[in-house]
């Protein structure tokens, strides 16, 4: 049986329990054949002292959504996914609302995967652009 979009999102949200993703209130909201999207509220839990979104929270969101995507797209193999390199450019600040991180796979290798993650605000304005490399390790 092929998993539906709803089943995949439910599985992704279930694995967030008792993790950093739950602490940051990250929620997976969309899935396509080559991307996955999660959202995170911007509030005092993820602010820098001056009241804007912390770059580290953005990077945690990006790695979470990219790693979940790798887990889903490599599901036909018995592997564990690890992020091995991440680079982020933060281009716009945000103080409240939600940010949405859409991870799109650029390279789906047997061992490594390359992801582009665009983090945008509710007006679809770019907040951060992230590149993530993941590694598939045999279990």
Phi, psi of 97 (to 5 degrees): 100, -145
To the query of whether residue 6 is one of the catalytic residues in this protein, the response is: no
Residues 15-24: contacts with CB within 8 Å, 24+ apart? Answer: 15/68, 20/60, 20/64, 21/64, 24/57, 24/60, 24/61
Of the residues 6, 22, 27, 63, only one is catalytic, namely 63
Report the catalytic residues: 63
């Amino acid at each position: 049986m092929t998993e539906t979009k709803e089943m995949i999102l439910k599985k992704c949200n279930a694995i967030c329990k008792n993790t950093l993703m739950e602490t940051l209130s990250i929620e997976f909201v969309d899935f396509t054949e080559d991307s996955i999207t999660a959202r995170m509220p911007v509030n005092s839990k993820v602010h820098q002292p001056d009241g804007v979104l912390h770059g580290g929270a953005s990077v945690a969101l990006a790695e979470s959504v990219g790693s979940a995507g790798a887990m889903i797209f490599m599901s036909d193999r018995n592997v564990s996914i690890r992020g091995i390199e991440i680079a982020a450019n933060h281009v716009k600040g945000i103080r409240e609302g939600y940010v949405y991180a859409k991870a799109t796979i650029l390279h789906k290798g047997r061992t490594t995967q390359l992801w582009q993650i665009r983090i945008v605000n509710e007006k679809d304005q770019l907040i951060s652009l992230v590149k993530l490399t993941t590694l598939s390790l045999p279990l």
